[in-house]
């Protein structure tokens, strides 16, 4: 195990945060092959002393490298460089200022007499900027022009598409023009539109196993068959796409759903290489990438996609408001000529009033502020729930996929989810099994429980986890 010296030239008066300069330096060393697979990075304390910066700065830089899959931290206290696939395309350079934006969440079913509902998708109603949103909606509906009364442009309001183009570039490194964007009415509608305009029916679609059941339903109801591609500890087994001989794959690289891992950089480049090798198409669902609790968000797969093999799918359901029912596609420009006339034969399904209100909300800066705020708040909730799990459940459970997003999985060892759900109801808690996201229910580990934490307060999360622990393991506090 070799130790190396890291000696970047840091501009302490510059525009870019120090941690970001350090992260970029180390990343460039890795990409240039100067830091190779297996090399161990200096310990945090040691490098902080060496560079004359705080430990936090070093930790932030390492966390960013970690989230992006350049290094791992398997060994206690140490960070090691991971294998790097040859980068086939130049990576878009993020500009280093605080542009990467985080975001919000989403409700589903009302509670009955359940006190704590750990439902995935519930939103934080208290923290939502109701007044700002209301004023945007009022301003939108007060325009008496045909753009908020009629059917609207078939691809969506052009100003909204400009805002979305700006947002996906600044937050996710995705370069696109408004002409490539199609506004849709939620992720399932996005997928349905893709099936319709790309004639995906009767085709086999590669999909992570487990994977989002809502998308599987839509694909199957369009006559597609699903080829399940197994997950490894760090995400999709890319070789499975070759052996299954699919030409289209639906993937969740930023935060695998439901298991939760972030696809490392070397696997991202392999995915893109697969698409080039097999003339494949990647459908990237980037549903909650705004919320990462360590380092900055990982750039989207689409940001690396110079060969135009990726269709990017975004949604406002997690980052803003489920009730907007607004999602979007970013289509590769090479496809636009062939799909334009198909798109034009569809009416836009999202109300132009909602579209205009969201446009105003983005233009006035509310959206960016809201995401920044929610990133802090969800970070706090994430911490509260993981600390409570550690405190109350300790050795009884393993936590899976807890680095990002608004849910995590618990593996309650040796137990069965049906029993756990029932026991939870006795202490007025509701938890969920993720089993429907597996093609074959038997493949889902029996003790898996899905914990959504976006809709509850920190104290509720703490108390809820305590109650669950009591119900499941009989521990009294």
Q: Which residues bind its own copies (CB under 8 A)?
A: 106-108, 110, 121-123, 125, 128, 130, 133-134, 137-138, 141-142, 144, 146-152, 185-189, 192, 196-197, 199, 201-202, 213-214, 217-218, 221-223, 317, 321-326, 342, 345-354
> Between 113 and 347, whose beta carbon lies closer to its own copies?
347
> Between 266 and 381, whose beta carbon lies closer to its own copies?
381
Q: Quote the CA–CA distance of 300 and 285 in Å, as a whole number.
A: 10
> Between 319 and 386, whose beta carbon lies closer to its own copies?
319
Report residue 367: phi and psi, to 5°.
-65, -50
- For residues 137 and 467, the answer to whether their CB atoms sit within 8 Å is no
Residue 109 has a CB neighbour count (10 Å cut-off) of 10
Q: In terms of Cα–Cα distance, which of 194, 136, 158 is closest to 357? A: 136
> Between 28 and 146, whose beta carbon lies closer to its own copies?
146
> Between 144 and 233, whose beta carbon lies closer to its own copies?
144
Give least dist CB 61 to its own copies, A.
Answer: 38
> Between 15 and 221, whose beta carbon lies closer to its own copies?
221
- For residues 253 and 268, the answer to whether their CB atoms sit within 8 Å is yes
Give least dist CB 444 to its own copies, A.
Answer: 18
Report residue 48: phi and psi, to 5°.
-60, -45
Residue 154 has a CB neighbour count (10 Å cut-off) of 15
Give least dist CB 216 to its own copies, A.
Answer: 9
Q: In terms of Cα–Cα distance, which of 293, 302, 248 is closest to 402? A: 293
- Specify the 3-state DSSP secondary structure of 56: helix
Give least dist CB 74 to its own copies, A.
Answer: 38
Give least dist CB 256 to its own copies, A.
Answer: 20
> Between 149 and 441, whose beta carbon lies closer to its own copies?
149
Give least dist CB 194 to its own copies, A.
Answer: 11
Which strands sit side by side in the sheet containing 181-184, from one edge to the other? 181-184, 327-330, 310-315, 281-285, 248-251, 204-209, 225-232, 235-236
Give least dist CB 110 to its own copies, A.
Answer: 6
10 Å CB burial of residue 394 (0-12, 13-18, 19+) is: exposed
Give least dist CB 15 to its own copies, A.
Answer: 38
- For residues 247 and 279, the answer to whether their CB atoms sit within 8 Å is yes
What are the tokens at 225?
């068959």
> Between 99 and 188, whose beta carbon lies closer to its own copies?
188
Entry field: residues in the chain: 477
């Amino acid at each position: 195990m070799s130790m190396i010296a890291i000696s970047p030239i840091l501009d302490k008066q510059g525009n870019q945060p120090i941690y970001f300069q350090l992260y970029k330096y180390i990343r460039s060393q890795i990409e240039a092959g100067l830091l190779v697979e297996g090399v161990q990075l200096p310990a945090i304390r040691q490098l902080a002393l060496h560079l004359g910066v705080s430990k936090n700065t070093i930790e932030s830089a390492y966390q960013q490298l970690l989230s992006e899959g350049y290094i791992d931290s398997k060994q206690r206290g140490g960070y090691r460089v991971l294998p790097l696939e040859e980068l086939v395309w130049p990576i878009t350079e993020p500009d280093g200022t605080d542009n990467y934006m985080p975001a919000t969440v989403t409700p589903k079913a009302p509670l009955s007499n359940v006190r704590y509902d750990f439902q995935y998708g519930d939103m934080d109603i208290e923290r939502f900027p109701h007044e700002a949103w209301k004023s945007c909606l009022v301003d939108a509906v007060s325009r008496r022009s045909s753009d908020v009364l009629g059917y609207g442009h078939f691809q969506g309001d052009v100003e909204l598409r400009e805002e979305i183009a700006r947002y996906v570039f600044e937050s996710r490194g995705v370069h696109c023009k408004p002409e490539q964007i199609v506004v849709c009415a939620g992720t399932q509608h996005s997928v349905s539109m893709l099936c319709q305009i790309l004639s995906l029916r009767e085709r086999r679609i590669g999909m992570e196993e487990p994977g989002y059941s809502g998308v599987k339903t839509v694909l199957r109801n369009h006559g597609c068959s699903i080829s399940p591609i197994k997950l490894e500890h760090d995400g999709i087994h890319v070789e499975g796409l070759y052996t299954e001989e699919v030409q289209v794959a639906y993937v969740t690289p930023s935060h695998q759903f439901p298991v939760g891992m972030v696809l490392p950089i070397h696997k991202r480049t392999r995915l893109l290489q697969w698409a080039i090798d097999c003339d494949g198409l990647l459908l990237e669902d980037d549903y909650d990438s705004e919320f990462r609790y360590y380092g900055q968000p990982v750039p989207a797969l689409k940001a690396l996609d110079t060969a135009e093999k990726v269709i990017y799918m975004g949604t406002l359901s997690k980052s803003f408001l489920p009730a907007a029912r607004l999602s979007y596609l970013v289509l590769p420009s090479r496809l636009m000529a062939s799909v334009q006339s198909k798109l034009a034969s569809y009416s836009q399904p999202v109300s132009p009033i909602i579209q205009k209100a969201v446009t105003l909300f983005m233009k006035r800066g509310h959206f960016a502020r809201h995401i920044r705020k929610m990133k802090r708040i969800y970070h706090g909730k994430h911490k509260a729930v993981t600390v409570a799990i550690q405190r109350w459940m300790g050795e009884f459970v393993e936590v899976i996929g807890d680095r990002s997003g608004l849910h995590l999985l618990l593996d309650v060892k040796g137990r069965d989810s049906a029993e756990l759900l029932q026991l939870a109801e006795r202490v007025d808690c509701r938890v969920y099994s993720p089993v429907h996201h597996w093609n074959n229910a038997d493949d889902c580990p029996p003790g898996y429980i899905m914990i959504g934490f976006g809709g509850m307060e920190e104290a509720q999360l703490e108390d809820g986890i305590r109650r669950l622990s009591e119900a499941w393991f009989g521990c009294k506090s």
